[in-house]
């Protein structure tokens, strides 16, 4: 159904995944890139299908996105037949993903040592909330917990002055899988060279902190003596807060209202500031305030900020972007998740994977081979156990009699 999807860069890579909820995203890019991802589910299935919102044709968008391109097999790992089938799949796999609280497979006698006996070259990857070690390793959690732990999201005043969760980008549950896919592929390369696999693990909390490295490393750097770690020369070496906090009162690097929305002006280099002033016929602004050559945001210059505020309101956002393109000035449009799809850059770079193939319109994997279409999932997210018979027959050679015996024993749920 829908357009044909070409074989991807990872055709020939097999991943066996045991996941619950969002951490299964670690193998989504692998599926997008053509890997055969087999999602092994318990008899009740992964309740990701009913979690979060919106619900599209009976399944959550979370499931439709995270599980796209994968095949679903039901195995009851509490049974001998279920464990035997699981180990059979592992013998054919490059990677086993454990995306749940650490130790889930160990409790089924299917931990790394057992998997390694079945396949010495297998790479096992464990992704969890707080990791396999540390005092929080058994603490139940959901996605925003990792961002709050890492300091990337803070409470805001809510109803009656009570603390409330703000609109935010979920970092930990996204960065953890992305760091994970890089490590998985590195480990597979080594395993194919040496015949030896390994056990990788990542905490989504660690990933949230690592993603926000500039602020945490900046605070740590400022803990050293002032004669060793200073601010930028453009600020007279003042030790400004790390990250964007010191730019809140920036002028040449700031949001401004346009005639129909907002733009982000980013002329912190002198050459860009001069280009802007020349392009709008206001060389007088540059002559009066040429600033430093680099990293000068004209911080605190309220007179200039008011002047620029009036200037930017005279043109639409699209007109300011065109000026930036024509005169080499860094000016960007300001979108929201609801409006970004209408942006011409988005339309050019991020073609929707269509609902007629994936049930809901979804964004593509953002890295592509130059000259080729963006990688795309070949199939919709699976229904619970949809591919059990197909996979066990294709991969393990189980005949109908064997499948019937396993069903009778309860191994297939």
pLDDT for 2: 47
Burial class, 213, CB count within 10 angstroms (exposed 0-12 / middle 13-18 / buried 19+) = exposed
pLDDT for 5: 63
Burial class, 236, CB count within 10 angstroms (exposed 0-12 / middle 13-18 / buried 19+) = exposed
Q: Three-state DSSP class for 160?
A: helix
What is the spatial distance between Cα 217 and Cα 146, in angstroms, rounded to a whole number?
18
How many degrees, rounded to 5, is the angle at CA 283 between CA 268 and CA 273?
Answer: 10
Average confidence (pLDDT) per 10 residues, the chain, 413 residues: 69 96 93 97 95 93 96 97 98 95 89 98 96 93 93 93 92 94 97 98 96 92 94 85 77 96 96 98 97 91 96 98 98 95 95 95 93 90 97 98 97 95
List Cα–Cα distances, 4 to 27, 379, 393, in angstroms. Answer: 21, 10, 25
Q: What is the pairing mode between strands 253-257 and 262-266?
A: antiparallel
A 10 A CB-CB count for 110 gives 22
**122 and 131 in contact (C-beta within 8 Å)?**
no
pLDDT for 243: 73
pLDDT for 4: 58
Q: What is the pairing mode between strands 163-164 and 156-157?
A: antiparallel
* Domains located in the chain, CATH noted: 14-210+352-409 (3.40.50.10540), 247-334 (3.30.1540.10)
What is the spatial distance between Cα 37 and Cα 30, in angstroms, rounded to a whole number?
8
pLDDT for 248: 80
pLDDT for 200: 97
What is the spatial distance between Cα 259 and Cα 314, in angstroms, rounded to a whole number?
6
pLDDT for 1: 43
128 - beta bridge partners? 203
């Amino acid at each position: 159904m829908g357009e044909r999807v070409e074989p991807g860069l990872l055709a020939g890579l097999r991943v066996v995944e045991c996941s619950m909820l969002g951490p299964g995203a670690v193998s989504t890019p692998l599926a997008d890139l053509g890997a055969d991802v087999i999602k092994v589910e318990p008899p009740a299935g992964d309740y990701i299908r009913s979690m979060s919102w919106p619900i599209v044709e009976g399944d959550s968008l979370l499931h439709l996105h995270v599980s796209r391109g994968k095949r679903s097999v039901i195995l009851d790992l509490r049974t001998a037949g279920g464990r035997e089938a699981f180990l059979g799949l592992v013998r054919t796999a490059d990677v086993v993903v454990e995306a749940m609280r650490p130790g889930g497979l160990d409790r089924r006698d299917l931990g790394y040592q057992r998997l390694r006996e079945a396949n010495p070259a297998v790479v096992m990857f464990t992704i969890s909330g707080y990791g396999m070690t540390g005092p929080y390793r058994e603490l139940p959690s959901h996605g925003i917990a990792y961002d709050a732990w890492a300091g990337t999201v803070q409470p805001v005043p809510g109803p009656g002055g009570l603390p409330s969760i703000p609109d935010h980008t979920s970092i930990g549950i996204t960065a953890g899988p992305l760091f994970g896919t890089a490590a998985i592929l590195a480990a597979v390369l080594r395993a194919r060279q040496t015949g030896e696999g390994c056990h990788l693990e990542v905490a989504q909390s660690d990933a949230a902190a690592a993603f926000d490295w500039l602020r945490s490393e900046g605070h740590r750097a400022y803990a050293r003596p002032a004669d060793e770690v200073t601010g930028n020369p453009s600020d007279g070496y003042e030790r400004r807060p790390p990250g964007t906090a010191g730019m809140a009162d920036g002028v040449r690097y700031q949001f401004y209202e346009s005639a129909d929305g907002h733009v982000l002006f980013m002329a912190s280099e002198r050459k860009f500031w001069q280009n802007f002033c020349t392009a709008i016929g206001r060389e007088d602004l540059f002559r009066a305030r040429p600033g430093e050559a680099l990293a000068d945001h004209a911080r605190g210059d309220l007179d200039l900020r008011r002047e620029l505020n009036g200037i930017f309101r005279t043109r639409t956002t699209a007109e300011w972007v065109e000026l930036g393109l024509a005169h080499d000035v860094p000016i960007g449009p300001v979108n929201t998740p609801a409006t970004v799809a209408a942006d011409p850059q988005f339309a050019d770079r991020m073609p929707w994977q269509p609902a007629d193939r994936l049930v809901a319109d979804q964004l593509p994997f953002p890295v592509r081979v130059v000259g080729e279409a963006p990688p795309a999932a070949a199939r919709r997210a699976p229904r619970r156990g949809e591919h059990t018979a197909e996979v066990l027959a294709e991969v393990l050679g189980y005949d109908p009699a064997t499948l019937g015996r396993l069903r009778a024993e309860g191994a297939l749920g």
